[in-house]
Amino acid sequence: MNKIPLTVNGAELLRQELHQLKTVERPSVIAAIAEARSHGDLSENAEYDAAKERQGFVEGRIKEVEGKLSMAQIIDPSVLDADGRCVFGATIELEDLETESVVTYQIVGDDEADIKLGKISISSPIARALIGKYAGDVAEVQAPGGVREYEIIDVRYI
């Protein structure tokens, strides 16, 4: 079985979501189903159908999150000793050599990725191009608009 890499923060967010699903969403759906049943004929009851559909979604998501957590390989970036290499969990400051703009990204798991927060997925083209490189190296990234070059300015483990 393949391990799913997660940062400590990403694992905690999944645990919180699982807790929310089990303690708030699931009871809410059960109550909605009970309410809809009390209205009588289930064959033409749109509320009942909607509640059952919601229940399927909630139960599916619970199974998905539990599966991810059971297969998680939790990595704490603050205790990494990668000798300045770009690795999972590292925060990397990059300069786009074409535009000279500077961006900072953290390489995280697929579930944690959020470009607006500066978190890129380990499976993204830019993260794959960065893995194993050091500060001062240039990474070539195959982007939809063509090849882009980024110089690695700094690698931090926070």
**Residue-wise pLDDT tens digits, 29-54:** 999 999 988 887 777 788 899 999 99
Please give the CATH architecture assigned to the domain spanning 85-157: Roll (3.10)
Residue 53: CB atoms within 10 Å:
11
Average pLDDT, the chain: 92
Same fold, 4-75 and 85-157: no
Average pLDDT over residues 23-33: 96
The CATH number that domain 4-75 falls under is: 1.10.287.180
Structure confidence by residue, pLDDT tens digits, 100-143: 999 999 999 998 999 999 999 999 999 999 999 999 999 999 88
Helix (H) or strand (E) holding 139: strand 138-143
The C-alpha angle 86, 89, 95, rounded to 5 degrees, equals 50
Mark 76-87 as b/e (b = at least 16 C-beta within 10 Å).
Answer: ebeebeeebbbb
| Domain range annotation of the chain | 4-75, 85-157
**6: pLDDT strictly greater than 80:** yes
Q: How much of the chain exceeds pLDDT 90, in percent?
A: 77
pLDDT for position 102: 95
pLDDT for position 41: 76
